[in-house]
């Protein structure tokens, strides 16, 4: 494909995306495809000879869109959102076009330095502790997901607790880690991956608001120490996936400090709220954290994947993850004057992800980002008020930010039926969880283009279907 052909086909793809966003509300939010349906429409064998770009692009609408669940629909209220925006998509396009692989500083200095710079910006934007700055002892890095970032935090914790001997000797079955019962499932997965073992993960009980009980944590740590085990890692959450619960960071942080345990804070969804001073109370105690992760690809208008991971002591991370074979040696690395991000993550290779984040921050500006976050929180609070005012429904958890957990009082089956009917209708998409062992519906307001009318319509449809189900 010559540059001029690329220009022509690229315009067509951009036009297709612009049209897609213009008509996105006409699609059912949750795909109606049946298992195997999309595959059945694809040819059994790859083409021997090349096809025209028009034919390829034409198949997007015909073969792919029926199998799309529209995460960018303003009526997508499921899971945690993964919002995107024009500047993010175009920043990402430039990253694809430049096609650099930023494993080393030398393999594209701008890829590394823009990333370091923008992540330092974010420390200020979210009012995170200064130790997370690259100009201090720490620094930030973009990873694909919070799962991967938390794995790196756990690995650094494992190494620090063993004086960096686990890398060499392997795990010994004596390391212990702590989360609450509400912590994201990725931590359980990370514990398994890192060889610590699920038997050595303590799930600390939560209070009536689904937040970790620090007293229970302290007791468990003491018991493990008495048993000759080595507590090495605590993960607290700002905004759990089930209910947006906020663990008490200050008390947990003090316990970690007293016990010399790595303290990791998972703010994957709700970190973005700290852009607004009035929501920073959710982050009280973050100054105790050894590491912190939040996902601009959830609620900060940056398309998947973009997870920002900060550490207070970059040396611990680098000592844990560094390898330097001969074929990667170069003068810049040897000088010690540069960051090589391959040592801050699991993979060696890496995309130029900072571009899309830089574009988003510059396009919206800090005030623009704050405006949208405030609006999402306001819409969720409004929705929560409607739930409270309808005596068929009840809130199932506090609503600190933009996630509303609620249920019909008719019981689990009614809630499941209600959700299935709503999702099948295509008018909106929401998902469920269990809180206190009861089926609970979740409505998360965070898609870039969600406005009052979308949330109003969602509530109207929920009320309509509730009448039918009950």
Q: Which is nearer to its own copies, 99 or 391 (CB)?
A: 99
> Interacting stretch for its own copies, rule CB under 8 A, among 255-263, 280-288, 299-307, 460-468?
299-307
What gap in Å lies between CA 56 and CA 58, rounded to an integer? 5
Site for its own copies in 40-79 (CB under 8 A): 42, 45-51, 53, 55-56, 60, 63-72, 79
Query: In 3D, which of 252, 211, 238, 289 has the Cα closest to residue 402?
Result: 238
Distances (CA, A) of 163 to 73, 316, 439: 49, 10, 45
Binding flag, residue 355, its own copies (CB under 8 A): yes
Q: Which is nearer to its own copies, 78 or 458 (CB)?
A: 78
> Interacting stretch for its own copies, rule CB under 8 A, among 33-41, 211-219, 278-286, 387-395?
33-41
The number of residues making up the chain comes to 470
Residue 267 exposure: Cα atoms within 13 Å on the Cβ side? 32
CA 131 and chain centroid, separation: 22
Binding flag, residue 109, its own copies (CB under 8 A): yes
What gap in Å lies between CA 131 and CA 137, rounded to an integer? 6
Site for its own copies in 263-292 (CB under 8 A): none
Binding flag, residue 110, its own copies (CB under 8 A): yes
What gap in Å lies between CA 233 and CA 213, rounded to an integer? 16
Binding flag, residue 127, its own copies (CB under 8 A): no
Site for its own copies in 177-236 (CB under 8 A): 184-186, 188-189, 192-200
Say if residues 356 and 306 touch (Cβ distance below 8 Å): yes
Convert residues 305-334 into a mask of x (bound to its own copies by CB under 8 A) and - (unbound).
x--------------xx-xxxxxxxx-x--
| β strands within 244-392, DSSP E | 262-266, 291-294, 307-311
Site for its own copies in 242-261 (CB under 8 A): 242
Q: Residue 46: which residues within 8 A CB-CB, separation 6 or more?
A: none
Site for its own copies in 379-418 (CB under 8 A): none
What gap in Å lies between CA 446 and CA 75, rounded to an integer? 10
Least distance in Å: CB of 404 to its own copies? 14
* The one among 126, 141, 155, 211 contacting its own copies by CB under 8 A: 155
Least distance in Å: CB of 297 to its own copies? 7
Tokens found for residue 4: 């001029």
Tally of CB atoms within 10 A around 396: 24
Site for its own copies in 417-436 (CB under 8 A): 431-434
* The one among 335, 389, 391, 468 contacting its own copies by CB under 8 A: 335
Say if residues 306 and 142 touch (Cβ distance below 8 Å): yes
């Amino acid at each position: 494909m010559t540059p001029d052909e690329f220009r022509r086909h690229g315009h067509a793809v951009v036009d297709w995306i612009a049209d897609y966003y213009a008509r996105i509300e006409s699609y059912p939010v949750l795909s109606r495809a049946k298992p195997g349906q999309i595959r059945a429409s694809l040819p059994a064998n790859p083409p021997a000879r090349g096809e025209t770009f028009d034919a390829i692009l034409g198949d997007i609408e015909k073969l792919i869109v029926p199998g799309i669940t529209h995460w960018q629909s303003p009526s997508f209220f499921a899971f945690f959102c993964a919002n995107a925006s024009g500047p993010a998509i175009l920043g990402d396009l430039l990253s694809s076009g430049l096609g650099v692989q930023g494993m080393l500083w030398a393999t594209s200095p701008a890829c590394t330095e823009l990333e370091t710079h923008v992540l330092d910006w974010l420390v200020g934007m979210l009012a995170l502790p200064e130790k997370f700055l690259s100009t201090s002892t720490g620094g930030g890095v973009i990873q694909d997901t919070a799962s991967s970032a938390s794995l790196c935090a756990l690995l650094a914790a494992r190494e620090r607790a063993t004086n960096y001997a686990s890398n060499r000797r392997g795990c010994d079955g004596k390391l212990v880690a702590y989360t609450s019962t509400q912590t994201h499932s990725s931590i359980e997965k990370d514990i398994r991956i890192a060889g610590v073992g699920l038997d050595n993960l303590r799930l600390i009980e939560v209070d009536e608001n689904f937040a970790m009980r620090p007293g229970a944590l302290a007791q468990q740590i003491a018991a493990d120490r008495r048993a000759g085990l080595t507590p090495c890692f605590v993960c607290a959450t700002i905004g759990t996936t089930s209910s947006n619960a906020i663990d008490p960071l200050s008390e947990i942080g003090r316990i970690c400090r007293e016990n010399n345990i790595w303290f990791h804070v998972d703010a994957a969804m709700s970190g973005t709220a700290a852009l607004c001073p009035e929501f920073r109370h959710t982050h009280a105690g973050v100054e105790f954290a050894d590491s912190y992760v939040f996902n601009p690809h959830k609620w900060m208008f940056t398309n998947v994947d973009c997870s920002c991971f900060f550490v207070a002591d970059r040396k611990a991370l680098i000592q844990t993850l560094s390898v330097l074979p001969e074929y990667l040696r170069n003068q810049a690395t040897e000088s010690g004057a540069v960051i090589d991000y391959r040592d801050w993550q699991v993979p060696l290779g890496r995309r130029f992800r900072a571009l899309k984040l830089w574009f988003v921050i510059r396009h919206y500006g800090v005030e623009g980002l704050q405006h949208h976050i405030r609006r999402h929180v306001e819409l969720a609070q409004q929705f929560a008020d409607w739930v409270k005012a309808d005596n068929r429904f009840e809130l199932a958890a506090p609503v600190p930010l933009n996630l509303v957990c609620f249920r019909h009082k008719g019981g689990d089956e009614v809630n499941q039926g209600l959700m299935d009917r709503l999702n099948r209708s295509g008018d909106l998409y929401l998902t469920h969880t269990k809180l206190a062992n009861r089926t609970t519906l979740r409505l998360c307001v965070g898609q870039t283009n969600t406005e009052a009318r979308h949330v109003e319509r969602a509530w109207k449809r929920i009320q309509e279907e509730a009448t039918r189900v009950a």
